[in-house]
Amino acid sequence: MIRRTSTLTMAILLSTLLLASIATAQDRYFPLNHRQPTGTAGRWSVLTHPQKYGYVQPIEVQLPSAGNVTFYQGSPKNAVQTSAPSQAGMMVGHSYRIRISEMPEYPGVELYPTIEILDRLHPPTQQAQSFPIPIEITEAEIEIVMQDRMVTKVVYLEQPDIAAPFEQGKRIRTENLPVTANLLQAADERGRPMAIIRIGGRIPDPTSLIDAFYSTSPLVIPPR
């Protein structure tokens, strides 16, 4: 469920592509290119705004209906499996690997999205857990990935004075842009980019003893 106030509205820019482009947004340089290592944009974000570094931003992963969300802390041995919708704290400037599985609409399907945290919200004091960044994964996106394509999404905080004049429902308003569009630049023009979600068909290598596939970034999973 998306939580909002009169000044807090989240939206998504989405593109289905194999390679994205390079973005220059305001005073930040965001290289959004799948040939670059995941995490480059997040690192640039905290280098240009070091006051963000170290802040643990709550996120909430939402699936089409039910299912499991597994968070990794360095290796599959340190996996923490939760039921969707699932909340965790992720550090600004870091990237994370999760697994989504046990979805009733997709029996046997497991996907491993990445979440890259670019910025933080500024909720009322002691209410950070009530204002997570929504990480919504839809049926349409899963169908695209099952066709051996990649989905890239940018979640952004809308500027109140130019926010789209639509009622915020249970699902996040999603705007589909052409493959040639620069998602981070477009998000920056509409508000403040908060996170990048990439969903593809890559799976971990079961033969690798040390697999960089899994995130080693600091993670906080609240008790449920």
- How do the domains of the chain map onto residue ranges? 10-220
User: Are the C-beta atoms of 81 and 70 separated by less than 8 Å?
Assistant: yes
CA dist., res. 201 & res. 212, Å (int): 16
DSSP 77: G
Let me know how long the chain is.
224
Q: Record the tokens describing residue 129, joined without a space.
A: 């857990």
Q: What is the pLDDT of residues 9-41, one digit of tens each?
A: 555 555 443 333 333 334 454 555 434 667 778
Q: Looking at residue 69, what is its pLDDT?
A: 97
pLDDT in the model for residue 35? 44
Q: DSSP assignment, residue 90?
A: E
> What is this structure's pTM?
0.82
